[in-house]
């Protein structure tokens, strides 16, 4: 896969042509890197699913330029959507609304809704402006294999798809994604019965949304639409991961050390811990939600590379600014429940 500087205007124009021809282009956004395809081309969307190894009934987000005509994509744009768009676009907020009849259902995994987002990254903005004269939509999930950690740099995208023969024309390099975790997703498609439903927390919190709309979003119920990012297990490194409370960390470390385990460690300003035969890799992220989110996925990838038996993550703070981070860490840990107990057990 070719890596191309996102500052190269000719390359952006070329990437836009590739999308128009039905090929895939990976590109930076302020949240994470996306794997893009023409949202009006069902075959190109199918190629995204194939590349990611993702079930085809999972909907993808359509990225639009700030100039795009929303009514081409949405059957209904409720007033609350206008408020949210004015407040947060371009930016890390995805809104779910009823899909316009003309838009292929492949993009929504067959559902009658559509997820729309206007990204704030300059390279994404330039790509959207060059694609179909700024009126197209780029369908793009995060540019990672299904269930794995999202990429926050062009190098991560290459790591994810190296060796695969998938039709990815190129990855546009836009540096490290500033936000670092995926967009907040708010469902506006069932306003009458459910109000605002927060499908995925992110940098934009429920409180931010309430401040703009006057309504506090609720958590999803059983009838909420499918969100692959809301599967219990998601966003996970290959190494098992366990969240440990700060008050228990020293005890757990002592037990694992006495069992001669090999661990990797992600701390939250607990101070420096040296690497040794027991701790194969350490990352420390400051206890500021923005800073922590920015570094989270790159840190998980680095710790994963240490091939430890487990990645221990010191539980970060619990207040609302951390909701998105807590959500991703819980899902990353989901498949590993029990591994920590096994490693601590004698014998
Ligand atoms: O920050 C982001 O949102 C990144 C960047 C690339 O924009 N994209 C991203 O896409 O995280 P993805 O596909 O990895 O996660 C999108 C989530 C999925 O969980 C999907 O199920 C949900 O959005 N989604 C998309 N359209 C939807 C719809 N119509 N109804 C319900 N959920 C939807
Ligand atoms: Mg994803």
234 lines ligand 1 (CB under 6 A): no
Strand order in the sheet with 34-38: 2-5, 168-173, 24-27, 34-38, 138-139, 61-63, 113-117, 93-98, 184-187, 197-200
Highest mean pLDDT among 137-141, 189-193, 227-231: 137-141
Pocket test for ligand 1, best of 51, 140, 182 (most atoms within 8 A of CB): 182
Give the residue from 195, 196, 224, 147 showing the smallest Cα distance to 205.
196
CA distance 83 to 55: 33
Which helix (H) or strand (E) segment holds residue 297: the answer is: helix 289-304
pLDDT digits (tens, 9 = 90+) for 151-181: 999 999 999 998 776 679 999 999 999 999 9
CA of 58 to the centre of ligand 1 (A): 9
Contacts of 254 (CB under 8 A, 6+ apart): none
Which residues have C-beta under 5 Å from ligand 2, the single-atom ion? 142
Residue 298 pLDDT = 98
- Phi, psi angles (nearest 5°) of residue 5: -60, 125
Among all bound ligands, the one having the nearest atom to the CA of 199 is: 1
| CA 251 to centroid of chain Cα atoms | 33
What's the DSSP call for residue 148?
B
Find the angle CA(234)-CA(228)-CA(87) to the nearest 5 degrees.
Answer: 105
CA of 259 to the centre of ligand 1 (A): 41
CA of 345 to the centre of ligand 2 (A): 34
Give 83: exposed, middle or buried? Use CB within 10 Å, 0-12, 13-18, 19+. middle
- Phi, psi angles (nearest 5°) of residue 267: -105, 165
DSSP helix/strand/coil, 70: helix
Among all bound ligands, the one having the nearest atom to the CA of 150 is: 2
CA distance 1 to 5: 13
154 lines ligand 1 (CB under 6 A): no
Is residue 225's pLDDT more than 90? no
Residue 160 pLDDT = 93
pLDDT digits (tens, 9 = 90+) for 305-345: 999 999 999 999 999 999 999 999 999 998 888 999 999 99
Residue of minimum CA distance from atom 20 in ligand 1: 227
CA of 59 to the centre of ligand 1 (A): 7
61 lines ligand 1 (CB under 6 A): yes
181 lines ligand 1 (CB under 6 A): no
Is residue 44's pLDDT more than 90? yes
Is residue 209's pLDDT more than 90? yes
CA distance 45 to 108: 10
Mean pLDDT, residues 103-107 taken together: 90
Confidence of residue 144 (pLDDT cuts 50, 70, 90): very high
In contact, 310 and 343? CB cutoff 8 Å: yes
In contact, 292 and 316? CB cutoff 8 Å: yes
| CA 284 to centroid of chain Cα atoms | 21
225 lines ligand 1 (CB under 6 A): yes
Confidence of residue 226 (pLDDT cuts 50, 70, 90): low
Q: Which of 127-131, 168-172, 225-229 has the lowest mean pLDDT?
A: 225-229
Residue 129 pLDDT = 98
Contacts of 345 (CB under 8 A, 6+ apart): none
Confidence of residue 12 (pLDDT cuts 50, 70, 90): very high
Residue 232 pLDDT = 73
Residue 186 pLDDT = 97
In contact, 129 and 70? CB cutoff 8 Å: no
CA of 213 to the centre of ligand 2 (A): 27
Q: Which of 115-124, 183-192, 225-234, 284-293 has the lowest mean pLDDT?
A: 225-234
160 lines ligand 1 (CB under 6 A): no
Contacts of 175 (CB under 8 A, 6+ apart): 6, 28, 153
CA distance 210 to 215: 5
CA distance 262 to 82: 51
106 lines ligand 1 (CB under 6 A): no
Is residue 223's pLDDT more than 80? no
Spell out the alpha helix ranges (H) of 95-153.
122-130
Among all bound ligands, the one having the nearest atom to the CA of 48 is: 1
User: Radius of gyration of the chain from Cα atoms?
Assistant: 20
Residue 295 pLDDT = 98
Residue of minimum CA distance from atom 7 in ligand 1: 34
Helix and strand tally (H, E) in the chain?
11, 14
The per-residue pLDDT of the chain, averaged, comes to 93
Higher pLDDT pick, 296 / 57: 296
Mean pLDDT, residues 234-245 taken together: 91
Residue 241 pLDDT = 96
142 lines ligand 1 (CB under 6 A): yes
Mean pLDDT, residues 221-242 taken together: 74
96 lines ligand 1 (CB under 6 A): yes
pLDDT digits (tens, 9 = 90+) for 61-88: 999 999 999 999 999 999 999 999 999 9
pTM assigned to the model: 0.95
Confidence of residue 227 (pLDDT cuts 50, 70, 90): low
Residue of minimum CA distance from atom 21 in ligand 1: 227
For residue 33, which atom of ligand 1 is closest to its CA? 6
Contacts of 60 (CB under 8 A, 6+ apart): 39, 45, 48, 107, 109, 115, 139, 140, 141
Q: What percent of the chain has pLDDT over 70?
A: 95
Is residue 275's pLDDT more than 90? no
């Amino acid at each position: 896969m070719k890596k191309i500087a996102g500052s190269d205007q000719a390359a952006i124009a070329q990437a836009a042509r590739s999308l128009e021809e039905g090929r895939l282009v990976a590109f930076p956004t302020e949240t994470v890197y996306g794997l893009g395809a023409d949202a009006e081309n069902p075959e190109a969307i199918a190629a995204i699913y194939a590349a990611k190894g993702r079930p085809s009934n999972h909907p993808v987000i359509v990225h639009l330029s700030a100039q795009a005509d929303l009514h081409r994509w949405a059957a209904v744009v409720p007033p609350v959507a206008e408020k949210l768009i004015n407040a947060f676009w371009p930016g890390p907020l995805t809104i779910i609304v009823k899909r316009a009849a003309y838009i292929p259902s492949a993009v929504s995994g067959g559902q009658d809704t559509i997820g729309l987002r206007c990204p704030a990254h300059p390279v994404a903005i330039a790509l959207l402006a060059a694609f179909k004269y700024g009126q197209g939509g780029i369908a793009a999930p995060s540019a990672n294999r299904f269930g794995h950690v999202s990429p926050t740099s062009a190098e991560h995208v290459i790591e994810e798809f190296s060796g695969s023969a998938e039709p990815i024309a190129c990855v546009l390099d836009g540096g490290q994604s500033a936000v670092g975790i995926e967009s907040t997703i708010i469902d506006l498609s069932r306003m009458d019965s459910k109000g605002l439903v927060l499908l995925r927390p992110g940098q934009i919190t429920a409180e931010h949304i309430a401040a703009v709309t006057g309504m506090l979003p609720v958590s999803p119920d059983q009838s909420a639409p499918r969100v692959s990012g809301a599967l219990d297990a998601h966003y996970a490194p290959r190494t098992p991961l366990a969240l440990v409370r700060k008050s228990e960390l020293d005890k757990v470390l002592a037990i694992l050390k006495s069992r001669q385990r090999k661990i990797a460690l992600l701390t939250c300003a607990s101070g420096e811990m040296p690497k040794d035969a027991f701790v194969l890799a350490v990352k420390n992220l400051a206890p500021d939600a923005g800073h922590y989110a920015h570094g989270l996925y790159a840190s998980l990838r680095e710790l994963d590379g240490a091939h430890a038996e487990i990645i221990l993550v010191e539980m970060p703070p619990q207040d609302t600014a951390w909701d998105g981070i807590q959500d991703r860490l819980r899902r990353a840990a989901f498949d590993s429940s029990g591994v920590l107990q096994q490693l601590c057990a004698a014998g």
